[in-house]
Amino acid sequence: MKLLIKGGTVVDPAARRMYRADVLVEGDRVTAVDKRLAGGDARVFDAGGKLVFPGLIDMHVHLREPGQEYKETIATGTRAAVRGGFTAVAAMPNTKPVADTPAVIRYVLEKAREAGLARVYPVGALTRGSRGEELSEIGELKAAGAVAFSDDGRPVAGAGMMRRAMEYARMLGVPVISHCEEPSLAAGGVMHEGLVATTLGLRGIPAAAEEVMVARDLILAEMTGCHLHVAHVSTAGAVRLIREAKARGVRVTAEATPHHFTLTDRAVADYDTLAKVNPPLRSDADVAAVREGLGDGTIDVIATDHAPHASHEKNVEFDLAAFGLVGLETAVGLVFTELVADNVLDVPAAVAKMSLNPARILGLQAGIIEPGAAADITVFDPEAEEVVDPALLAGKSKNTPFGGYRLKGVVYAAVVGGRVHLRDR
């Protein structure tokens, strides 16, 4: 099988440049990248006027399988991924059972292989059952295929436990992804603590809940030498702490989600449970700081925290609604609409945060289109526009707060290991 992606503009996030070139794919590999390639008997894919990215990687996704297949499955979640332009995702371990045994890791990999859509890289649980009481068998989980470790959704409350986890992870050369939330500060909160929460009579989660934990984990990363990756940064203080730690040489990377650089707590103002997410949507100043952190390189990655929930878990009173929103199918459009159009990031920098940087953090050979590389490629039309229609999402759950948003740029196709997944509209 040969494929010629013709006439597009290739984005190289490593060299931070864009250039006109054809890309030849043979089997599951890129074999040539050059001006005007002759493809012979190759299937020709016209990419004129389009951008050709190294396959996008979403390093923070909840696929819900095993255990909560009514919300999402590996098949539906990876279908949403390729529709959103992602050729690979990292799957968080808060499944049922939790991904704390090699059997669950292997199950996830097997289901992903069967689905044949996006690649799936499992994240193993840091502690057994993500209860924060004893370490999971990180070495065995790594051998089974886990690429990083986290108790995402459930912060590791004890500093001693986090220290041991980081020491162990450092020894094995794997990153620890931290959901930074100090439980006693966040307890009972359902949205950002501030004026909007007070007006609505809802209990708040203060910015300090995140910042206290970011500070703790940075100190522990410095002490242990472990690579700490801070998930879904949402506050100005967290951005500042990470920036300072990077300047000191601490091994830390960080991610931000499209909803945290786009929306504020005002999205909750009419008790809209679609905007209930953890960490919560924050203030204007926090959103500005997250954007600044993306622009100056403090925040390395854009990841969605894709968190599918069924409608009966969202169509309830605000206090009872599940935290989380789906993000795979709106992420690239939001990046181009909110960050590229606003000159927060240029195109190569935006693409770096969605391909090369997550690849480096997770230790994957990906993020660049060059001869010999795996043929994971995203084709994107930056001129097209679309209005988000939740009913058209490919994922099983439709819990997006971006329904009705007009997005600049539309994913055209995702190529995974040489297989083309054209986006149907």
The residues carrying an active-site annotation are 305
Q: Nearer to ligand DOR by C-beta: 264 or 278? A: 278
Q: How far is the CB of 83 from ligand DOR (least distance, A)?
A: 20
Q: Nearer to ligand DOR by C-beta: 25 or 190? A: 190
- Please identify which residue in 87, 253, 278, 283 interacts with ligand DOR, judged by CB under 6 A: 278
Q: Nearer to ligand DOR by C-beta: 89 or 377? A: 89
- Please identify which residue in 66, 132, 324, 348 interacts with ligand DOR, judged by CB under 6 A: 324
Q: How far is CA 123 from the centre of its chain?
A: 12
Amino acid at 87: T
Q: Does 323 bind ligand DOR (CB under 6 A)?
A: yes
Query: Measured between alpha carbons, how far is 18 from 324 in angstroms, rounded to an integer?
Result: 35
Query: Measured between alpha carbons, how far is 223 from 167 in angstroms, rounded to an integer?
Result: 9
Binders in 27-56 for ligand DOR, by CB under 6 A: none
Q: How far is the CB of 74 from ligand DOR (least distance, A)?
A: 15
Please, are residues 21 and 10 in contact by the beta-carbon 8 Å criterion?
A: yes
Radius of gyration of the chain (CA): 20
Size of the site for ligand DOR (CB under 6 A): 10
- Please identify which residue in 119, 179, 291, 421 interacts with ligand DOR, judged by CB under 6 A: 179
Please, are residues 352 and 13 in contact by the beta-carbon 8 Å criterion?
A: yes
Q: How far is the CB of 81 from ligand DOR (least distance, A)?
A: 16
Q: Which helix (H) or strand (E) holds 107?
A: helix 102-115
Q: Nearer to ligand DOR by C-beta: 130 or 283? A: 130
Q: Nearer to ligand DOR by C-beta: 152 or 182? A: 152
Binders in 134-153 for ligand DOR, by CB under 6 A: 152-153
For residue 183, whether the previous peptide bond is cis, meaning omega lies within 30 degrees of 0, is: no
Q: How far is the CB of 256 from ligand DOR (least distance, A)?
A: 14
Pairing mode of beta strands 119-125, 86-91: parallel
Strands (E), 201-295: 204-205, 228-230, 252-256
Measured from each CB, the residue nearest to ligand DOR is 324
Amino acid at 230: V
Q: CA of 419: how far to CAs of 136, 300, 332, 352, 410, in Å?
A: 36, 28, 21, 23, 19
Q: Nearer to ligand DOR by C-beta: 50 or 154? A: 154
DSSP reduced 3-state for 296? helix
Please, are residues 220 and 166 in contact by the beta-carbon 8 Å criterion?
A: yes
Q: How far is the CB of 347 from ligand DOR (least distance, A)?
A: 29
Contact pattern for ligand DOR over residues 217 through 236, marking x by CB under 6 A: --------------------
- Please identify which residue in 277, 281, 388, 420 interacts with ligand DOR, judged by CB under 6 A: 277
∠212-250-220 over CA atoms, to 5°? 45
Q: Which helix (H) or strand (E) holds 216?
A: helix 207-224
- Please identify which residue in 57, 99, 156, 307 interacts with ligand DOR, judged by CB under 6 A: 307
The residue with tokens 């995974």 is: 416
Please, are residues 345 and 339 in contact by the beta-carbon 8 Å criterion?
A: yes
Positions that interact with ligand DOR (CB under 6 A): 62, 94, 152-153, 179, 277-278, 307, 323-324
